């Protein structure tokens, strides 16, 4: 698989793809059977071509189909 990735830069290995995703850190208020989550005191970390972008939000509703990984009690990215 690594050889294919070298010849096709658009193809990413799974962990490299996870590294390119947004990271959202916040206090969980609740969730449902589809893992839709209500979060408060949210910080969103995103890597963009211009650099790292940090966005603070009071509350969000996160669609469960957009979640790839959960880290309960995690510290999140360093600010």
Interval 17-22 mean pLDDT: 75
Answer whether residue 8 is part of any domain: no
Looking at residue 32, its pLDDT comes to 96
Number of domains making up the chain: 1
Interval 36-53 mean pLDDT: 92
Res 48 pLDDT > 90: no
CA distance linking residue 43 with residue 1, whole number of Å = 34
Residue with the bigger pLDDT between 49 and 10: it is 49
Q: Residue 74: pLDDT band by 50, 70, 90 thresholds?
A: low
Answer whether residue 1 is part of any domain: no
Answer whether residue 77 is part of any domain: no
Answer whether residue 27 is part of any domain: yes
Write the DSSP string, 32-62.
Answer: -TT--EEEEEEEEEEEETTEEEEEEEEEEEE
Looking at residue 63, its pLDDT comes to 95
In sequence order, what are the beta bridge partners of 51?
48
């Amino acid at each position: 698989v690594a050889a294919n990735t070298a010849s096709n830069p658009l193809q990413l290995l799974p962990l490299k793809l996870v590294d390119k995703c947004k990271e959202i850190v916040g206090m969980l208020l609740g969730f449902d059977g589809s893992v839709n989550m209500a979060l408060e005191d949210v910080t969103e970390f995103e890597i963009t071509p211009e650099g790292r972008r940090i966005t603070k939000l009071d509350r969000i509703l996160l669609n469960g189909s957009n979640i790839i990984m959960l880290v309960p009690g995690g510290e999140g990215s360093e600010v």
